[in-house]
Structure 1
Amino acid sequence: MAIERIARQTKQKESIREALKHCEEFISAQDLHRKLEDDGLHIGLATVYRQLNALADAGSADTIRLGGQQMFRLCGDDEHHHHLVCTNCGRTVEIEPPSEAWVRKTAAKYGFTVSSHTVEVFGLCPDCQRALG
């Protein structure tokens, strides 16, 4: 039974990773779960959450909070990166971060040391600006 459970978890994990690979924007666990169900894969929502958080903990997926929800996106590469995120449609663009020197200088100004940092810039993409305009 343990081997069957491991095989099932591996198949589910791969299914979740594959579905996430086809999402260009950040997606919530609930929306990804719905997409998997629509594709005929019966998997528990708790399993989707667990696997998405495991991917994020391993550095294989990015995670942000948007509209009160935790959102996920498969990382395109292993390099440290940051995002512009549209708060209306979820469109995401990877951006160049501020320099490490700026990050450390700003932290030092307030007596902090830097152990890690994340920069996410939220606003409206050009299409949403026009549509809401």
Structure 2
Amino acid sequence: MPQRASADGRPPAPSAAAGGKEQRVTKQRIAVSAALDELNDFVSTQELYRILQNKGVSVSLATAYRILQSLADEELVDVLRNGDGEAVYRRCTVTVHHHHLLCRNCGKAVEVEAPAVETWAARTAQEHGFTEVAHTVEIYGLCPACSARKAAAQ
């Protein structure tokens, strides 16, 4: 679950990351987390940094990188690579394992469950003797709105 300030504005107690390391809750971490909560699509670190700067939040780009990586390590955000290979982040609304449909044009993301992919991944790993397997599947294309704009322009 994302960490949020309490009703009286105080930051919550430090959290234990997935690896067991406790994370300090700083003003910058709260600001990054709050900005992610306001966004619907994936955002790069540099895009998030610009958003924070425009809001008057004092956070360095290096700190933004560290906070996003920490949130990813804690599985509080999804991270994937966009078409340019750049890491992008988003607070996901789905808490179970899932995949994404991503628009190459506008960046729209749709979360999808794919039982057939899960079955295939488990079977393939087992056939090759792999254990403790994880996987990521992202499907890139054009969303309906971008497809319609492209068709209209032709």
Compare the two structures and name the one with the higher helix fraction: 1
Check if 1:103 corresponds to 2:142.
no
Cα distance in 2, alignment partners of residues 51 and 19 from structure 1:
12
Equivalent in the alignment of 1:24 = 40
Over the matched positions of the two proteins, sequence identity in percent amounts to 42
Cα distance in 1, alignment partners of residues 25 and 95 from structure 2:
24
Give the unaligned 5+ runs of structure 1. 1-5
- Larger deviation: 86-95 or 71-80? 71-80
Q: CA deviation at 1:28?
A: 0.4
Kindly report which structure 2 residues correspond to 1:53-132, keeping only aligned pairs within 5 A, or say none: 53-66=69-82, 67-99=84-116, 100-109=118-127, 111=128, 113-114=130-131, 115-132=133-150
Q: Is the 8 A contact 1:19 1:36 kept in 2?
A: yes
Deviation per CA, 1:37-96, whole angstroms, max 9, x where unpaired?
000112100000100011011100001111221100012243111111111111011101
Letter in 2 for 1:58: E
CA distance 1:112–1:88, change in 2 (3 Å)? farther
Check if 1:46 corresponds to 2:70.
no
Q: Is the 8 A contact 1:104 1:113 kept in 2?
A: no
Equivalent in the alignment of 2:9 = none
Equivalent in the alignment of 2:6 = none
**TM-score (norm. length: structure 1):** 0.86
Equivalent in the alignment of 2:19 = none
Letter in 2 for 1:91: K
Task: List structure 1 segments (4+ residues) > 3 angstroms apart after TM superposition.
Answer: none
Give the 3-state SS of the residue equivalent to 1:84 in structure 2. strand
